[in-house]
Amino acid sequence: MDLALTESQEMLKGIARSFMAREAPKDVIVGLESEPSGLIPELWKKACGLGWLGMLIPAEYGGGEASLCDTAVLYEELGRGPLPGPFFSSGVLGALVLLEGATPEQRRALLPAVARGERILSLAVSDPGTSWGAHGVTLIPQREKGGFSLTGTKLFAADATSATDLIVAVRTADAPGDVSFLLLDARAPGVSTRRLPGFLSWQCEVALERALVPDTALLGGAPGQGWATLTRAMLRALPILCSYMVGGCQAVYEMSVSHSRTRVQFGVPVGRFQRVQDHIVRLVNHLDAARWTTGEALWKLDTGRPAEASVHLAKAVASEGYLEACNAAHEVHAGMGSMNEYGLAAHTQMSRTLFHYLGDPRWHKRRMADALEW
C-alpha cells in the first residue's frame, strides 16, 4: 500500500503547477470568462508541446500512453485554476471515444492530430428537452446520397466553440441504446456553435442546418454502437474529470484557509470563529471524499480491477463535493467571494457546470447501484 504520488508524478505535478502559475494565473482565468472559447492559443501551443493533449493516446498514434493515475495528476493541477479549454473534451473524452469506437482508419486520420492538439474534439450528445442518457439522443439523421444530413440542435456540448471536429450523437433505431456517433467538421456549412450565456462554463449550443457528413463519418463504420462506446470511454474519462474537480476543491480550500487567517473582523482573524471553522471543516471533508473516491477508481482502472461502481461513485461524490466546497467557501468569504476578480466565482461557476456534465450525481448513483447488482 502506498497512497502517495510516485516520483515521476511529483515531477509532473511540479511542472504543471509552475506552468499554471506562469501561463494561467488568476487574472488570466478571470479574464477568460467573457470569451466565446476557453482556449488560449499561446497556452494551448505550449501545453501541446508538453504532450498534454496526447497523454492517454497510444504511442502508435503519437501519444504518451500514460496511465490514468499519471494523467489525473495533470488534470488536478488544471482544475486548480480552473483552467478551461478543451483539454478534457478533446484529449480525454474525445480521444477515448475514438479509441473505443473508431475504425482503424478513423483513428489513424484523427488521433495523431488530436495528440498534437491540432485537431480538437468535442462531443455533442443531448438534444433539447431531454435528460442525460441514451434516450436523450433524439436527433435522427436523414439519408442523403453517400452520407447523412443533420438538422437539429444539440445542447450543453462542452467546448464546441473551440472544436475543429464534433462527435455528434444521433439516433439510428428505436431501441434506447441505438445511438451512433457521426464525425462532423465543426466548420462545415450548416454547422454553427455558440457558447451558451449565463452561469455555466463553455457549454455550447450546436445548431445543425442540413449539415452533410459522408458515410465514412459514421464512427466505427456500423450503426448502433454509440452508447456502448461512450459508456466504455466514460468509464476511463470520468475519473480524470473527477481529478479536475478535486483540484478545484483543493484550490477553494486553500483560498478559504488563507482567508480565515488574514481577514480580520471584530478584531480577530475570522477563522477564530467556530461558525467559520465549520464551513472549512465541511469543505475539507468534501475535498477528501472526492480525492480518495477518485483515487481508488483510478487505481482500480490502472490495475485492471472491476471499476464501474467506483467510477460512478467518484463522479457522484466529486460533483456534489465541488459544488458544496464552493458553497462553503462562499460562506467563509462572504462578499469578497462574489467579486469576480477574487477567483472563487470561476470555481463556483465551473462546479455548477460539471455537476450535470456527463450525468448528474443522482444518475451516477443509480448506475452505481446497478453495477453493484443490488
Residues forming the site for other proteins (CB under 8 A): 1-5, 69, 257, 260-261, 268-274, 276-278, 280-281, 284-285, 288-289, 292-293, 295-296, 298-300, 313, 316-317, 362, 365-366, 368-369, 372, 374
CB 270 within 8 A of CB 276: yes
CB of residue 274 to other proteins, shortest distance in Å: 7
Contacts of 180 (CB under 8 A, 6+ apart): 169, 170, 171, 172, 218, 219, 223, 224, 225, 226
Least separation in angstroms between residue 125's CB and other proteins is 24
Min dist CB 268 to other proteins, Å, is 8
DSSP 202: S
In whole angstroms, how close is the CB of 353 to other proteins at the nearest point? Answer: 22
CB burial of residue 327 (10 Å; 0-12, 13-18, 19+) = middle
Name residue 154's beta-bridge partners.
Answer: 206
Question: 166 vs 252, which CB is nearer to other proteins?
Answer: 252
Q: How far is the CB of 260 from other proteins (least distance, A)?
A: 5
Q: Considering beta carbons, is residue 209 or 278 the nearer one to other proteins?
A: 278
Name the phi and psi angles at 194, rounded to 5. -150, 130
> Toward other proteins, which CB reaches closer, 159 or 296?
296
Beta strands in 84-158 (DSSP E): 121-124, 142-144, 147-158
Q: Which helix (H) or strand (E) holds 363?
A: helix 361-371
Cα–Cα distance for residue pair 102/217, rounded to 1 Å: 10
Of the candidates 329, 319, 347, 317, which has an alpha carbon nearest to the alpha carbon of residue 253? Answer: 329
Strands 121-124 and 165-171: parallel
Give the residue with the Cβ less far from other proteins, 184 or 270: 270
Q: Which is nearer to other proteins, 32 or 290 (CB)?
A: 290
CB of 317 to other proteins, least distance (A): 6
Q: How far is the CB of 81 from other proteins (least distance, A)?
A: 23
Residue placing its CB nearer to other proteins in the complex, 143 or 266: 266
- Closer to other proteins by Cβ: residue 319 or 353: 319
